[in-house]
Structure 1
Amino acid sequence: MARKVRDRVDPRVIGSRVFMLLWLTIAWVMLWGPIEVGTIVAGVLVSIVVMVLLPLPRVPVEGLVRPVSTAWLVIVVAYYLVRSSIAVAWLSVRPQAPPRSAVLRAPMRLKSDFTLALAVNTLNLMPGGIVVRVDPVARYVYIHVLDAGSPEAVERFRRQTAHVEHLYVRAFERPEDWKPSPEHYSAPAEEYRSRVPDRVKDRAPEPVHDSEEHR
């Protein structure tokens, strides 16, 4: 009971609910047209009803959103999107043989599964690569990279992936802001392996290239 009371007064939990209320209200106003007092009030009331009667599964709030770092994250990701699009367009029209592709492994040491999912989606948005597997226990992502035919290309991939990880840490998971939630659960490696289907366990591992040395 005491923990539930603490959760209710936790500023992070309250902030997430206020954000959801604002988001639903904005969606309601955009759907119904003119920005009027009546439309906004109706949007707030409908949003409250939706949040009470149709609540989403609770996501542990463990970090803190840093607005400036989040804005910088958006700017840098937009730059990577443009740069990657130009690089892929050049690879498709240049008068040379197609580059060698490969599945590369990169560490993604984000603590929150939600933040990890955001980072994976960001990597998927960038042309030239697609995440084919996520190891939630060891915190690795396996990415099929279109251009991995040279050490320079692999190093460029490693730097970009590490930079995305760093940006997400600065925006959502700074060490001084991190407060582990009792609702957070990480499956032990043994349990994770026990849930893997036999057809996956028996399959020979695919060759991958580490994006950095692991000593």
Structure 2
Amino acid sequence: MTKKVKMDARVFGSRVFMTLWLAFAWTLLWGSFELGTILAGLGVAVIIMTVLPLPRVPVEGLLRPISTAWLIIMVGYYLVRSSVIVAWQSVRPAAPPESAVLRAPMRLKSDFTLALAVNSLNLMPGGIVVRVDPVARYVYIHVLDAGTDKAVESFYRQTGHVEQLFQRAFERPEDWRPHPGHYTAPADSGPGKTSPKNPGAAAGQEVSR
């Protein structure tokens, strides 16, 4: 009974969050934070959640506010840092960096959390996710600068830190309540480097020049 109450509370909390988010988007579209606009946004959000509900996503973790705030700060830092690096690479008096598609493990348990992490990685200049393997839990990212071991190590370090931030914010072991039909990914075989023309190639393949 206690577990059912906790799950119901999580589902209710997610619906409240989505309603508030839709109301916030409504006020942004109108460009006004007056009381009438906010109330109208709440009314529209309730109608949307009632008449046009989204497919139900299992709520398996628990949002940690402090870890989530730190996640937002660090993702913002990586956005600025990546922008500066890409800007310098575009104006420096040197040959363009060598790009490649790199495979990185993204062992987030929830598909929803995985989607959030992928979207965050796509926002960062210098790389874009070209493929997601939702079964083996890998992401294939086309990286602008992968010509040196230092650049590749920096990429894996940043991607691993983003994964860790999302785990601490949404998927701590003590908070995890898996859905009955939840799929468990196989053991991680490690990161790899593939050709930009074939992101599905086996790990360890040489980068095409």
Q: TM-score, normalised by structure 1?
A: 0.78
SS at match of 1:131: strand
Check the 8 A contact 1:65/1:171 in 2, yes or no. yes
Match of 1:85 in 2: 83
Match of 1:56 in 2: 54
Check the 8 A contact 1:63/1:177 in 2, yes or no. yes
Picking from 139, 142, 162, the partner of 1:141 is 139
SS at match of 2:89: helix
SS at match of 2:140: strand
Match of 1:195 in 2: none
Change (3 A) 1:103 1:32: closer
Match of 1:35 in 2: 34
Q: Unaligned 5+ residue runs, structure 1?
A: 190-202, 211-215
CA RMSD between the two structures: 2.7
Match of 1:169 in 2: 167
Distance in 1 of aligned mates of 2:101 and 2:77: 24
Match of 1:155 in 2: 153
Q: 1:43-76 deviations in whole A, cap 9, x for unaligned?
A: 4333322221111111110001111111111111
Check the 8 A contact 2:64/2:168 in 1, yes or no. yes
SS at match of 1:63: coil
Change (3 A) 1:16 1:206: same
Counterpart amino acid of residue 96 in structure 1: A
Counterpart amino acid of residue 174 in structure 2: E
SS at match of 2:82: helix
Check the 8 A contact 2:131/2:199 in 1, yes or no. no
Check the 8 A contact 1:104/1:142 in 2, yes or no. yes
SS at match of 1:179: coil
Q: Unaligned 5+ residue runs, structure 2?
A: 187-197
Change (3 A) 1:97 1:65: same
Match of 2:11 in 1: 13
SS at match of 2:87: helix
Match of 2:101 in 1: 103
Picking from 20, 27, 44, the partner of 1:22 is 20
Match of 1:181 in 2: 179
Match of 1:94 in 2: 92
Change (3 A) 1:188 1:142: closer
Check the 8 A contact 2:106/2:163 in 1, yes or no. yes
* Deviation of the 1:137 alpha carbon: 1.1
Check the 8 A contact 1:25/1:43 in 2, yes or no. yes
Could you say which structure has the larger radius of gyration? 1
Counterpart amino acid of residue 21 in structure 2: W
Distance in 1 of aligned mates of 2:81 and 2:45: 39
The alignment covers a number of residue pairs equal to: 191
Counterpart amino acid of residue 131 in structure 1: V
Q: 1:94-133 deviations in whole A, cap 9, x for unaligned?
A: 1111111111111100000111111111111111111111
SS at match of 1:132: strand
SS at match of 1:105: strand
* Deviation of the 1:208 alpha carbon: 5.1
